[in-house]
Amino acid sequence: MAFIQVITYRTDHREEMDALVERWLDDTEDVRRARKRLLLKDRNDTDSYMEVVFFDSYEDAMHNSELPATHMLEAAFEQLVVDGFSFRDFDVVTDEM
């Protein structure tokens, strides 16, 4: 079953975070299992972001979570966000249109 993780946070360090993500993409090119990532910026709160990450399964998401590069990315992100992260995990029930 497809799986989606939603991560919300606040930051005024967007450029630094984007550079870290680019490094993570390079470091995990042959081993990551994330299929797609959407980065959303709140129109009414310009320091508020939501990331939606798509996986083929929960197991693939857990594989990604255990990658050393993911641990390094998370630790670096923690230094750049206000009040930490909020994680929500969803199984995809319907995928249409």
In this predicted structure, what is the pLDDT of residue 36?
96
Do 73 and 20 meet the contact criterion of CB atoms below 8 Å apart?
yes
In this predicted structure, what is the pLDDT of residue 78?
94
Spell out the domains of the chain, with CATH numbers in brackets: 3-91 (3.30.70.100)
Q: How far apart are CA 81 and CA 50, in angstroms?
A: 12
In this predicted structure, what is the pLDDT of residue 39?
98
- Chunked mean pLDDT (size 10), the chain, 97 residues: 97 97 96 97 97 98 96 95 95 94
Please, which residues have CB within 8 angstroms of residue 69's CB and are 6 or more apart in sequence? 24, 27, 28
Concatenated DSSP letters of 27-49: HTTTT--EEEEEEEE-SSSTTEE
Q: Is 20 helix (H, G, I), strand (E, B) or coil?
A: helix
Maximum Cα–Cα distance for the chain, whole Å? 39
